[in-house]
Chains A and B, each alone.
Chain A
Amino acid sequence: MNSIIFRVGSSVILPFALLLSLFLLWRGHNEPGGGFIGGLVAAAGYASYALPRGHTALRKVLPISPMLLLALGLSAALASGLAGLIGNAAYLTHAWIAIGGVAVGTTLLFDIGVYLTVLGAILTFLSLFLEQ
């Protein structure tokens, strides 16, 4: 897997994959996309970058550890449900506010949670594999 084409190609892929994943995450509520797909795309970007380069390279491009990503993701999803409880509704009843005509809700936080959990889980598997 250490072919020069893959090596060079994947370094170009990573930033685009990340940008694409964020784009998918952001527009997910109204257009095709969402946290799950976004997380997968980001993970694919990291995977193609890290596979020819190894574990150390992956750690260098990752700002935080995969396990922490998992924890952050789950916490974000869990926390997004609290708004409903505060508003005296069922847990995970989402709250919305309009900022400059764009409706922003706690669904985005939930989606971010899904995104981070998916990414974290795949990266955990990946880094375990790369360490072997």
Chain B
Amino acid sequence: MTLSSLIFLSFLSTPIAYLVARYWSPTIVALVPALLFLGFAYHIPVVTQLDVVVQHVHWIPSLGISLSFRLDGLSLIFALLITGIGTAIFLYASAYLPSNWRTPRFFASLTVFMASMLGAVISDDLFGLLVFWELTSLSSFMLIGYDPSQAKSRRSAQQGLLITVAGGLAMLAGMVLLGNLAGTYRISEILTTHAGDMPTGPAGTAILILIALGAFSKSAQFPLHSWLANAMVAPTPVSAYLHSATMVKLGVYLMARLSPVLSDIELWTPLLMSVGSITMLSGAFLALRETDLKRILAYTTIVSLGTLITLIGVDHPAAATAMVVFLVVHALYKACLFMIAGIIDHSTGTRDSSVLGGLARAMPITATIACIASLSMAGLPPLFGFIGKELIYEAALSAQVSYITFAVLIVANACMVVVAGVIALRCFFGRSSDVSGRAALRLHDPSIRMWIGPLVLAVLGLAFGLMPQWIQGLLAASATSVQGDTVALHLSLWHGISPMLVLSVVTLIIGFLIYLFWGRIQHRLKSFAFIDEKGPDVLYDRALDALAKLSNWQTGLIQTGSLRHYMAMSVGIVATTTLITMIVNDALVLPTLHTNGMGIDFVLPLLLIASTIMVLRSRGFVQGIISVGAVGFGVAVVFLLGGAPDLAFTQFSVEALSVVILLAVIGHMPFRAIDPRPTRQRGRDALIGLMFGLMFIAVMFTVVALPFNESLSDFFRESSYPLAHGRNLVNVILVDFRALDTLGEITVLALAALAAVAVFFSSNKQHDPNSGHARALSRKEP
């Protein structure tokens, strides 16, 4: 199965997911990610041989943009995570969410999200990647705003969308710069042919900063991280999927993907390492002062994302290895723990870790899963998390990073130990919970649909720890993509007493100490109120307020609401600017008078002038409209004689229609026949009209005086019949040569009509759109 058909099928399954969830059962929708997982898993043998799967579909060849797909180690590992964790999430969500009218829509959005993620990671074209990237923002907007009746949910959805899309816009600019510089928008070509010749001056810096803005906004790096924690208002399956395992990793993916070429820019390492470190620290700080399980997990996600970005910034093969291993480690345990948090919430009704405790007795299965995943999070042997953490330290040691970075890494990992302890020990084995009475009585493990996914993820974390050779080939291929050179990889659980092991033990001790005194530490951390009062989240609100004020101000300035004002402004500005440009550039050409006979060429202008004078002198509206119509008909005759019968026909019909309709409208309207304008305004209007007329005369003279370029008309004349079987050039152009333009125009026409209907019904609020008039419009009356 080709890559494009995998993507196509995943998008196609969106309406199917909707229908299946609506009329059958949401559980069955989980087959979609499961089948896609198999489709991608099929490519594992090829990719582990360091081969790539490539496919191109032309999209906009004239702009050099194609739908190119390319599956290498990095994109395959992402695709497997997206579909594999997706399967668990879809199953989980089908049991987690109450079945209501929102359910089908939810599963459709989730499917779009998954498909866009897949498209983004296997795109080999910068613009293709961008389109899918933005689609993930849009679909996550739908998912975070799952419950639109809640103001909080609406705000979080909007915040996520605004921050990530603003970042995406910056990224677009960076991508255009990068593509223009490289002469291609194909990512693989940029990477292979241009690695090493990135400009190191301001151009390179601009490219890096712009692209990094997109990646950092998506991957919640400081100070753009606040949306991630707020997005926790979304239902838990969404949090687990979007904000732990997939979407937030997209920025990491992009930086990793482009690192072979962007790492030549000297800002690369300082930028990534400083932003990553600050993100790690602020995430750890915020995680430790939080009590809500989901928000704790969200903040530790921020820590992990900071770690990943830092590792990408370290230019050393060991860092690339550590990055891809930690990526998989984190995805496995974090998705699992999010679902566990959801299960706890589901059965106890609270996610507050300060009141939870002793749940293991009532929920043995959940407790077991939580323990395995938490051990991986804490980085204890024999879990995969241990290998990941050792590799991070190994990378830091071999790249000889600064002591500060070391300290930050240790703090970040210690924070993971604390949080793992909070979730596994405190919630499941701590002192008995305050969840009492009836709630305590019905505490039990959830249905298999909810725990099977977390179980598989947790067990995989254990299996990869014990048997790292199972996944070694794939990880080596991914590290190779990140590094740009072949990376040899030999993972093993135990490699003797090493500096890394010492660091691991130190981390564990620090983490355990913090865990023991967590209550007190948390109390202290919570006293830093300025975080809540002046943090980025508040700044976001302020910025939004300022934006609203700015637009209010400029709306008041420009949009006065007076039609006459708009007309005067647009006509006046067009006339003056055109005239000034023509005079300044000396482009004004005066015609040489020559008459060829006294035929209709002479009569017609007189007729037009006469009707124009009629318009100006007319006192009543009816007279005025008919005179305007006469001018229009005169112009149509000019077209007819000038050899443009189609244009003339159109003009005739439009004039007839407008005269008839305007007359009918005026019959209904309480128009005053007397012009209410004061003399001064009449003078101003006359001046504007005169200017516009002069401008037109000047333009027409100049156009007529210029030599006519025949190349286009010659082309159409010659190829009209042979290519498009038509002799009427105008029609052939409309329906054949430029049919897409026409399609766009009639779409605009149709939208205008629909908008008119919408405006009509919103200005007639008393009409219920579901009855009466709306029905009359959409259905034939009996």
Contacts and interface: CB of A to CB of B under 8 A. Distances in A.
B555 to A, nearest CB: 27
Given A37-B649, A92-B739, A47 B780 contact: no
Contact of A29 (B657, B664, B732, B746): B732
Interface in A32-89: 32-37, 40-41, 43-44, 47-48, 51, 55-56, 59, 62-68, 70, 73-74, 77-78, 81
Interface residues of B, number: 47
A35 B734 CA distance: 10
Contacts of B749: 117-118, 121
Helix, strand, loop or mixed for chain B's interface? helix
B509 interface: no
A122 B727 CA distance: 28
A30 B726 contact: yes
B55 interface: no
A51 B728 contact: no
Contacts of A22: none
Contacts of A24: 649
A128 B758 CA distance: 10
Contacts of B746: 73-74, 77, 113-114, 117-118
Contacts of B656: 44
A65 B780 contact: yes
B660 interface: yes
A92 B734 contact: no
A31 to B, nearest CB: 6
A88 B664 CA distance: 50
A62 B778 CA distance: 12
Interface string A99-125: 000010101001101100110111011
A129 interface: yes
Interface in B709-733: 724-728, 730-732
Nearest to B779: A65
A90 B780 CA distance: 38
Nearest to A50: B664
Considering residues A24, A35, A48, A114, which has the most beta carbons from chain B within 10 angstroms of its beta carbon? A114
A59 to B, nearest CB: 5
B728 A29 contact: yes
A128 B756 contact: yes
A67 B752 CA distance: 12
A39 to B, nearest CB: 9
B1 interface: no
23 contacts: A29-B725, A29-B727, A32-B728, A33-B649, A33-B728, A35-B735, A59-B780, A59-B781, A65-B778, A70-B750, A78-B743, A91-B740, A92-B740, A96-B725, A111-B731, A111-B735, A114-B734, A118-B749, A120-B753, A124-B754, A124-B756, A129-B661, A132-B668
Given A94-B735, A103-B725, A128-B777, 20 more contacts: A29-B732, A32-B728, A33-B649, A34-B730, A34-B735, A35-B734, A37-B653, A47-B661, A59-B780, A65-B777, A65-B779, A81-B739, A81-B743, A92-B740, A96-B725, A107-B725, A107-B736, A124-B753, A128-B757, A129-B664
Interface of A: 1, 24, 28-37, 40-41, 43-44, 47-48, 51, 55-56, 59, 62-68, 70, 73-74, 77-78, 81, 91-92, 94, 96, 103, 105, 107, 110-111, 113-114, 117-118, 120-122, 124-129, 131-132
Interface of B: 645-646, 649-650, 653-654, 656-657, 660-661, 663-665, 667-668, 724-728, 730-732, 734-736, 739-740, 742-743, 746-747, 749-750, 752-754, 756-757, 760, 773, 776-781
